[in-house]
Amino acid sequence: MIARASIPQFRTEDDLHKHVARILTYAIAPPGKLSGDGVYWCSIEHRNARSRIEGALRKARGVVAGVPDILIGYRNRTYWVELKRHDGTRSKSQIALHPVLEACGQPVGLCRTPVEVIAFLERHGIPVKAEVMA
C-alpha cells in the first residue's frame, strides 16, 4: 500500500484564503506593501452581490466577475492566484475570464493549498523569503 501525503483540507474557502494571506505576509511582505525584492500582493474581494442594486452599482463601476482572488505584481508583470478548496470548482465567469488574463501575459494559478501557491510563485521566479512551511 502506498502512503499518501496529507493534503490540508480547509473547512471554507475563507479559511484557505486567510491561511494563504498569512503565508504571503511572511514570504513576501504585508498586503499592499512592496517587498525588498520588489514584489507586491493584495487580495481582491468580489463576493456575490447581496442585492440587485449592489450588483448594478458594481457593474456600473466596471467590476468584472471571475477576477482571481490574489493579485501579485513583480517586474512589470501581473500574476493571479485563484484559490479553491480541495473540492471547489471554478465558476463560469472564472472559466471565461482566466484565459483572457493569460492571453494578456498574466499567468493565473489555480491553487488548492498554500504549498501550491508557493510553487506557483517559484515557478514564475517570484522571490519568496526562505522556505515556507505551509
Tell me the per-residue pLDDT of 6-37, one tens digit each, with 9 for 90 and over.
556 788 889 999 999 999 999 999 999 999 99
* pTM of the predicted protein model: 0.86
In order of their start, the domains of the chain are 13-123 (3.40.1350.10)
Q: Answer yes or no: are the C-beta atoms of 41 and 73 closer than 8 Å.
A: yes
> For the chain, where are the alpha helices, taking DSSP H only?
13-27, 52-60, 92-103, 114-123
